[in-house]
Amino acid sequence: MKQDVFQARHDAEWRALDAWLLARARPRVKQRALDAEGVFGDLDFPGAYRRVCQHLALAQRRGYSVLLIDRLQDLVHRGHLVLYRPQPPRWHAAIHFFAADFPRLVRRHGRAMGIAALLFFGSFIGVIVALQFRPELAHSLFDVEDLARFEAMYDPAKASAKLGRESGSDIKMFGFYILNNVSIGFRTIAAGFFACIGSVYVLLFNGLFLGGVAGHLTAIGYGGPFWRFVAGHSAPELLAIVISGGAGLQLGMAMIAPGRRSRGRAFVEAGVDMAKLALGIFGMLVFAAFVEAFWSSIGWMPDVVKFGVGGLLWVLILLWLWRGGRGAVHAP
């Protein structure tokens, strides 16, 4: 085979491999820019590396030009460094998961996440607004004892250094918040197994419950301490609940509408993604528990600092879920 024919036949896959290796060496290379050139996608790196090794051997045996052989040798050398590189430390994999894999997975199931957000935030905001016009509706949501407990925890006149709690040290409450928050998140995911109904119920229940507390306290003039308490940890906690609900809905849909796959296969594939989502949700809820125990409860902090930190966390977490992993390259 003549060199020009050989080169024309394989040039596209050489360029694809070259672009893939370049993107690994330079993580800031935008994946969409590489896609626009038509040379980057879901590359089977081990297969591409074996083929370029074969092409190099053929080029050397057939006596092709030095330029072509040098080009193929460069690809083989760079590919060898990637394929046989030492395994990175485990903490590298953990950082990559939370920085890139988890937000990418959330976006992959964006439709389910959007429905979960509508169910949770719709009920949450709706009941807050309703209670400002009809404060007596709080008695339809809570017992008198519960309302009295909420009011005692957030009484503006209460001479307490801690917000949002009746007693307990920061360490003790940190453990309590982890147990409580993680159990809610995992129950929301698991409830989706029952044809999505369980996840819908948990999302609506939590939206109505949290919105009911917020709406009642705001309506009676106790909103200041309450909002100062929840401002810091609201972003990781509420968004983790929404992601849990989206994961549960996706799990339920695998059972209801598996498409061309069998229900068993659809459920297994969905379960793999849900397990990964559960790990990310766990991380978000542990972080939320830490903020809630050690930051949110501080009563003397000025409002501008409390709400400023809370707003910053909302922006950073939403930005992470929106942009995280967009420029990352999948490992082979």
Phi and psi at residue 121, to the nearest 5°: -70, -30
Distance CA 245, CA 240 (A): 9
Whether the full predicted model's pTM is greater than 0.75, yes or no, is no
Domain ranges of the chain: 3-85, 92-323
CA R_g for the chain: 27
Structure token digits, residue 275: 């397990």
Low-confidence ranges of the chain (pLDDT < 50): 28-41, 329, 331-332
What are the pLDDT digits (tens) for 72-92?
A: 999 999 888 887 776 666 777
What are the pLDDT digits (tens) for 88-125?
A: 667 777 888 898 899 999 999 999 999 999 999 999 99
- Stated as kind and residue range, the H or E segment containing 310 is helix 303-323
